[in-house]
């Protein structure tokens, strides 16, 4: 099934059921008013949803209406926890090589993960509002899962059974702050403003065979200012979502609604491009000795989308413009 959250006067929006082809929607206000409500009552509500979803896809719901991603918030506009991993080792290896950094201990056995802000996610078409383009504005294309409650010490195999939904993420990064915050040892804060999510979240069965062994085995199409930037495939994910979830739950339970991110989708085949500017800059440094691609400027547009084998958009597109907002801290 496919779900979205429509903008209204409430912070958590209104939950919609969305047709498989993303053309029609049906309000679930009388059944599950918000995405968090659906997640909290998943077992009892999903049998109710199934016949409605079938009717929606068959064009049999008179109360359905046209679906427009511009009217959507993030599927979960806010949640209890957002933990982003770094599951594609190629990405880290390129950065390490470009900057001649020493290898990190256990990098291939223990996934990196940070806990980001989860109080104010951006919708797929919301502008990315930031104070200063000199902070090194970057996009990061990722996949993410939403889980039900995960017990502390959950095994990798058990972790996969707790996944409820899958989404796309633009994990916006401000590269000008990252090295300082890494050296500080307390994790990211200023380097990670609000993340953006696809207009639609889908249940794993919607991916068919392309949801395999805890991986989203789909290319993530990224264009920047209308120009192709990358088409890296999630099938090269070194740590599966099961491993990322188990890592996050090693010493604490995860509350229903927790989001786990894959980190930047990255492939060894350079012809597939990149999912963030930092990786492209790293490749340029390795090849020519100097980074040539600048970071984003105000007015730039970033688009991310994943298509199935029939060229159908699965999650809808993240399509955003970077704008200036807040106080210019550099002045």
Question: Which H or E element spans position 15?
Answer: strand 14-18
pLDDT in tens, 91-107: 989 988 887 777 778 88
- For residues 56 and 26, give the distance between their C-alpha atoms in angstroms, rounded to a whole number: 7
**Between 13 and 107, whose confidence is greater?**
13
Q: Would you state the structure tokens that stand for residue 27, as one six-digit string?
A: 């309000």
Q: Which pLDDT value is given to residue 146? A: 98
Residue 146 CA from chain centroid, whole number = 10
Per-residue pLDDT, averaged over 63-83, amounts to 98
Judge whether residue 327 has pLDDT over 80: no
Cβ atoms of residues 81 and 255 within 8 Å: yes
- For residues 101 and 243, give the distance between their C-alpha atoms in angstroms, rounded to a whole number: 26
Choose among 276, 278, 297, 291: nearest CA to 133: 297
Q: Which pLDDT value is given to residue 64? A: 98
Judge whether residue 331 has pLDDT over 90: no
Q: Sign of torsion, CA 63 67 70 74?
A: positive
Q: Which pLDDT value is given to residue 179? A: 86
**Between 95 and 30, whose confidence is greater?**
30
- For residues 223 and 274, give the distance between their C-alpha atoms in angstroms, rounded to a whole number: 10
Q: Assign residue 200 a region: left if phi > 0, alpha if psi is -120 to 50, beta otherwise?
A: beta
pLDDT in tens, 181-240: 888 888 899 999 999 999 999 999 999 999 999 999 999 999 999 999 999 999 999 999
Instruction: With both helix axes pointing from N to C terminus, report the angle between 89-98 and 277-288 in degrees, rounded to the nearest 10.
Output: 50
Question: Which H or E element spans position 128?
Answer: strand 128-130
What predicted TM-score, i.e. pTM, was given to this entire model?
Answer: 0.96
Judge whether residue 117 has pLDDT over 90: yes
Tell the CATH topology of 82-324: Fumarylacetoacetate hydrolase; domain 2 (3.90.850)
Burial call 127-164: b when 16+ CB within 10 Å, e when fewer: ebebbbbebbbbbbbbbbbbbbebeeebebeebbebbb
Residue 244 CA from chain centroid, whole number = 14
pLDDT in tens, 244-254: 999 999 999 99
- Judging by beta carbons within 10 Å of its beta carbon (0-12, 13-18, 19+), is residue 174 exposed, middle or buried? buried
DSSP-based three-state secondary structure for 303:
strand
Cβ atoms of residues 220 and 273 within 8 Å: no
Place 328 in a pLDDT band, splitting at 50, 70 and 90. Answer: low
User: Which residues, other chains included, contact 107 with Cβ-Cβ below 8 Å and sequence gap of 6+?
Assistant: 89, 92
Residue 111 CA from chain centroid, whole number = 17
CATH 3.90.850.10 domain locations along the chain? 82-324
Mean pLDDT of the chain: 95
Q: What are phi and psi of 106, to 5 degrees?
A: 65, 25
Q: Would you state the structure tokens that stand for residue 291, as one six-digit string?
A: 């980074």
pLDDT in tens, 126-139: 999 999 999 999 99
pLDDT in tens, 123-177: 999 999 999 999 999 999 999 999 999 999 999 999 999 999 999 999 999 999 9
Q: Would you state the structure tokens that stand for residue 161, as one six-digit string?
A: 């059974």
* DSSP string covering 51-93: HHHHHHHTT--TT-EE--GGGB--SSSS-S-EEEEE--HHHHH
Q: Which pLDDT value is given to residue 245? A: 98
Q: Which pLDDT value is given to residue 134? A: 96
């Amino acid at each position: 099934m496919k779900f979205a959250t429509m903008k209204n006067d409430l912070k958590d929006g209104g939950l919609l059921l969305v047709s498989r082809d993303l053309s029609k929607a049906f309000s679930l206000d009388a059944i599950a008013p918000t995405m968090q409500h659906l997640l909290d009552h998943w077992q009892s509500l999903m049998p109710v949803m199934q016949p409605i979803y079938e009717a929606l896809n068959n064009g049999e719901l008179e109360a359905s209406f046209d679906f427009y991603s511009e009217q959507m918030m993030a599927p979960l506009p806010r949640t209890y926890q957002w933990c982003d991993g770094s599951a594609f080792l190629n990405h880290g290896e390129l950065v390490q090589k470009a900057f001649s950094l020493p290898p990190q201990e256990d990098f291939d056995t223990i996934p990196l993960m940070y806990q980001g802000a989860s109080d104010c996610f951006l919708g797929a078409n919301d502008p990315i509002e930031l104070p200063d383009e000199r902070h090194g504005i970057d996009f990061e294309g990722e996949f993410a899962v939403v889980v039900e409650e995960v017990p502390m010490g959950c095994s990798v195999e058990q972790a996969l059974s707790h996944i409820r939904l899958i989404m796309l993420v633009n994990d916006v990064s401000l590269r000008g702050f990252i090295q300082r915050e890494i050296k500080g040892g307390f994790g990211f804060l200023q380097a990670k403003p609000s993340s953006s999510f696809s207009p639609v979240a889908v249940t794993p069965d919607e991916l068919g065979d392309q949801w395999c062994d805890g991986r989203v085995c789909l290319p993530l199409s990224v264009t920047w200012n209308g120009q192709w930037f990358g088409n890296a495939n999630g099938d090269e994910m070194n740590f599966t979502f099961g491993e990322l979830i188990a890592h996050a739950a090693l010493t604490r339970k995860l509350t229903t609604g927790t989001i786990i991110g894959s980190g930047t989708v990255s492939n060894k085949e350079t012809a597939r491009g990149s999912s963030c500017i930092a990786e492209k800059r790293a490749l340029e440094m390795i090849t020519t000795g100097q980074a040539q691609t600048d970071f984003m400027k105000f007015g730039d547009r970033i688009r991310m989308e994943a298509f199935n084998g029939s060229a159908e958009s699965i999650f809808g597109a993240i399509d955003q413009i970077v704008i200036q907002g807040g106080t210019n801290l550099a002045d």
